[in-house]
Amino acid sequence: MANKTVIDLLEDFSFRHAKIDQENERRMKNDADIMELEEQKRALLAEKLKRAFLAEDTTGLDADIMELERRQEEIARKKGLVVPYACAACRDTGLVGRKYCVCFLREVYQTIYGAADVNTLAERFDRADFSVFDGEKELAMGRTQRALAELAYGICKKYVDAFPNTPRLNLLLRGKAGLGKSYLLRCIATAAREKGVDVCLIRAGELFSAFFKHRMGEEMPLSFLQDAQLLLIDDLGTEPMTQNVTTEYLFDLLNRRLEAGRHTAVATNVDDLQARYGERISSRLESRECAVLLLDGMDLRLRR
Ligand SMILES: [Zn+2]
């Protein structure tokens, strides 16, 4: 993958926008009905210029010009001449006002950080199938594996449904590998995307590799990770530990997000977070702001 910067991405977007505009203009110019209205519009514009020069009132002309433009657009729409932008919100510029559009942020997450493409995830809450979990043997808290999964599912679903006014700011999904934690995170990502939330779903490996690049002085902005409306970190604990990077950067990210009141959900198979990351990080991951969900039982991948 080419090493793109945020500036490169913004350029890509404005190029896409210009290309669609050009194509639309070309199509308009090839349509006789639209061009006939264009002639009338030009005549009115010339008249407007003249009146403005004589300091006369032009409001009536303005209304007529707008009406002609409306009719041009109507014809273009009816004849199917208009090429739509991929994103109606930003018209493929990547910007809405002075803010980055959600579609642009998604491309930053994927291209700059290697985050998941949340537009193509297959996991959805309404497709969850609990029959794959054992419903017989009692495990933690006197519940079966299926009951624990259903409980976690319910809390995760509620979290997205209520977003951004979630009962707790953060979520921590714990349990061994193969118990459905990643599945739940992906369901959250899909549901959040459908709500229009700015969501970044990233595996710990990619996250720490971004940290490492930043540490090595490479061009790697971390602000997008700090500012994402909803950050989902999968597989925390599978990343290699790097001295002076792992704990410092992770603490900084979690702390900034907590202080800014931004939502973060983490899935981890690490039992003892304090032993691996130290007290500062574990206290943030397990703080009162965080709903802790435990998944337990048999690895689904082994059962199948
Ligand atoms: Zn957009």
Tens-of-pLDDT digits for all 304 residues of the chain?
A: 447 889 999 999 999 999 999 999 999 999 999 999 999 999 999 999 999 899 888 888 999 999 999 999 999 999 999 999 999 999 999 999 999 999 999 999 999 999 999 999 999 998 888 888 888 888 877 888 888 888 899 999 999 999 999 999 999 999 888 788 999 999 999 999 999 999 999 999 999 999 999 999 998 999 999 999 999 999 999 998 887 778 899 999 999 999 999 999 999 999 999 999 999 999 999 888 889 888 877 776 665 5
User: Ligand 1 centre and the CA of 5: distance in Å?
Assistant: 18
User: Ligand 1 centre and the CA of 257: distance in Å?
Assistant: 24
User: Ligand 1 centre and the CA of 90: distance in Å?
Assistant: 4
Task: Say how many C-beta atoms besides its own lie within 10 A of residue 104's C-beta.
Answer: 24
CB 178 within 8 A of CB 165: no
User: Ligand 1 centre and the CA of 17: distance in Å?
Assistant: 11
User: Ligand 1 centre and the CA of 77: distance in Å?
Assistant: 21
User: Ligand 1 centre and the CA of 92: distance in Å?
Assistant: 5
| Ion ligand 1 neighbours, Cβ < 5 Å | 87, 89-90, 101, 103
Task: State residue 1's pLDDT score.
Answer: 44
User: Ligand 1 centre and the CA of 106: distance in Å?
Assistant: 9
User: Ligand 1 centre and the CA of 225: distance in Å?
Assistant: 18
User: Ligand 1 centre and the CA of 91: distance in Å?
Assistant: 6
**124-156 as b/e: b if 16+ CB within 10 A:** ebeebeeeebbeeeebeeebbbbbbbbebbebb
Q: Give the type of residue at 31.
A: D
In the chain, the DSSP E strands lie at 95-96, 99-100, 170-174, 199-203, 230-236, 263-268, 290-294
User: Ligand 1 centre and the CA of 105: distance in Å?
Assistant: 9
User: Ligand 1 centre and the CA of 165: distance in Å?
Assistant: 24
User: Ligand 1 centre and the CA of 83: distance in Å?
Assistant: 16
Task: Say how many C-beta atoms besides its own lie within 10 A of residue 195's C-beta.
Answer: 13
Q: Which helix (H) or strand (E) holds 213?
A: helix 204-215
As a whole number of angstroms, the longest Cα–Cα distance in the chain is: 90
User: Ligand 1 centre and the CA of 95: distance in Å?
Assistant: 7
Task: State residue 18's pLDDT score.
Answer: 96
User: Ligand 1 centre and the CA of 292: distance in Å?
Assistant: 34
Q: Which helix (H) or strand (E) holds 34?
A: helix 32-53
Count, in order, helices (H) and strands (E) of the chain: 12, 7
User: Ligand 1 centre and the CA of 2: distance in Å?
Assistant: 22
User: Ligand 1 centre and the CA of 119: distance in Å?
Assistant: 13
Q: Which two tokens mark 38?
A: 């264009």
User: Ligand 1 centre and the CA of 93: distance in Å?
Assistant: 7
User: Ligand 1 centre and the CA of 252: distance in Å?
Assistant: 29
Please give the model's pTM, rounded to 2 decimal places. 0.86
User: Ligand 1 centre and the CA of 96: distance in Å?
Assistant: 7
